[in-house]
Amino acid sequence: MNKFNIKNVLEKNIMTIALFAVYVLFVLLAAVIKGTNMLDPSIVTSLIEQNAYVFVLGAGMLMCMLTGGNIDLSVGSFVCFAGAVAGLFSVENNIIKNTTPTPVTLLIVVGVGLAYGAVLGYLIAYVRIPPWIATLAGYLAFRGLGTQILTKASTTNAISNFPSSLTHIFSGKLFETGWGELNIPCVALGVIAAGVVIFLNFKARANKIKKGYEADPFWFVLLKSILIAAVILFLAIEFSLDGGIPVVVLWIAGVLIIYGIITEKTTIGRHFMTVGGNAEASRLSGINNKLIMFAAYLNMAILTVVAALIVTTRTGAANSFAGQEFELDAIAACIVGGVSAYGGSGTIIGMVVGAALIGVINQGMSLVGVDQDWIKIVKGLVLLAAVVFEILSKKNREKKSAMKKAAAATAKTQET
């Protein structure tokens, strides 16, 4: 193991630190300039609810990008299309008069996602169409299809009034209480989650010591655990004051935990990274590259359906403009989160931090009263800065190791 080194730790977590700094900065700015309290429970909850889709889509986009910097441009349009399909079956409209029970609606929407994902995956993995072209076709076609469905289905070009049996699955609150009351189950869940995180951190350290590996120092693990627990408890209290845990938070947590485990702990996740790291080496090591590519796009389509249901039930309507630029938000979250644009490396946690950073900048600037156009300009610059930083620090590291290598070589030649 590499020796524990504060500088390395800071360098590795630079984006997380930036996230905290930017958040604190906007809390102060909002308070000073507009007198708004950004820590207000409803503002914190809406920050998470508004960005929920980015976390879900980001997980799928991460899997695609791992396979070699491949992206899916059709995500936003498919959100619109899947939302329209959901509305078509669950709400009475001009095309289908009878509503379908919610479980069947869900099956249909997921089925549509699977079908699209399978076709897309097949075209990309087996017919070898470059991903950005295949998904560009989807980007155009599904926006058109979704809009057509909505215009035919309703005179208002939108389907609303979704049945509560559907909306409760993806939005609303769990353990709902009045606003401003301290919601006990919510706080209790927060305490449990924080406890689990602390326990896992120390268990991992104890395990390392038991096996005789080098472990991080005790104080560092303690500090790390306290910080994470503090964030969880902060959110739990904010949620509880805002009337309960947003259902969508459970979806986000579920998706992030599942994909975190897949990418970090399973052979499947490892295969994704290997394909992106060196496709030929991966093939000759017995990995089925095509199947991995297929799986990446199939998986993306399924998560897109989840995101579509989250967004549609949150806004309460399927619109023809739903999901615009979602694909770009997901890609940006990955890139800012340090996912390699060439594939082979990237983590769920990185993506989450990237998504949160963009989300905080978005909300913070709006609260401070910055014009939307300027928000876009700043977001663009942040994206660019993240990539430039990534490349420069990589170059720096390479230079260092090359110098070390050269020094070793000269030492060797001098010996002989």
Residue closer to another protein (CB basis): 271 or 314: 271
Does the protein bind another protein through residue 280 (CB under 8 A)?
Answer: yes
- Which of the ranges 29-37, 108-116, 158-166, 394-402 carries the binding residues for another protein, by CB under 8 A? 394-402
The answer to whether 285 contacts another protein (rule: CB under 8 A) is yes
For another protein, which stretch binds (CB under 8 A), given 54-62, 191-199, 277-285, 295-303?
277-285
> Of 81-89, 194-202, 280-288, 355-363, which segment contacts another protein by CB under 8 A?
280-288
Which of residues 34, 265, 376, 399 is near another protein by CB under 8 A?
265
Task: Tell me which of 58, 243, 246, 344 binds another protein, using CB under 8 A.
Answer: 344
Stretch that binds another protein, among 14-22, 41-49, 89-97, 395-403 (CB under 8 A): 395-403
Q: Does 207 bind another protein (CB under 8 A)?
A: yes
Does 7 participate in binding another protein (rule CB under 8 A)?
Answer: no
DSSP classification of residue 61: H
**Distance in angstroms (rounded) separating the CA atoms of residues 262 and 285:** 20
Pairing assessment for the beta strands 173-174 and 317-319 based on DSSP bridges: unpaired
DSSP states of 98-141 as a string? SPPPHHHHHHHHHHHHHHHHHHHHHHHHTS---HHHHHHHHHHH
CA–CA gap between residue 71 and residue 64 (Å, rounded): 6
Q: Does 283 bind another protein (CB under 8 A)?
A: yes
b/e map 401-416, b = 16+ CB within 10 Å: eeeeeeeeeeeeeeee
* Least Å from the CB of residue 261 to another protein: 8
- Amino acid identity of residue 272, one-letter, is F
Question: Chain-centre distance of CA 77, in angstroms?
Answer: 18
Based on the shown chain and the rule CB under 8 A, indicate whether residue 350 belongs to the binding site for another protein: no
Q: Which CB atom, from 34 or from 394, has the smaller least distance to another protein? A: 394
Q: How many CA atoms lie within 13 A of 95 on its CB side?
A: 19
Min dist CB 37 to another protein, Å, is 43
Please return the burial class of 170, using the count of CB atoms within 10 Å of its CB with bins 0-12, 13-18 and 19+: buried
Single out the residue of 299, 312, 247 nearest to residue 86, CA to CA. 312
Give the Cβ contact number of residue 351 at 10 Å: 30
The least CB distance from residue 65 to another protein, in Å, is 14
Q: Which of 44, 248, 287, 293 binds another protein (CB under 8 A)?
A: 287
Q: Figure out which of the listed residues 105, 282, 312, 362 binds another protein, where binding follows CB under 8 A.
A: 282
What does the binding site for another protein look like in residue numbers (CB under 8 A)? 1-2, 207, 211, 213, 265-268, 270-271, 273-274, 277-278, 280-288, 340, 344-345, 398, 401-402, 405-406, 408-409, 412
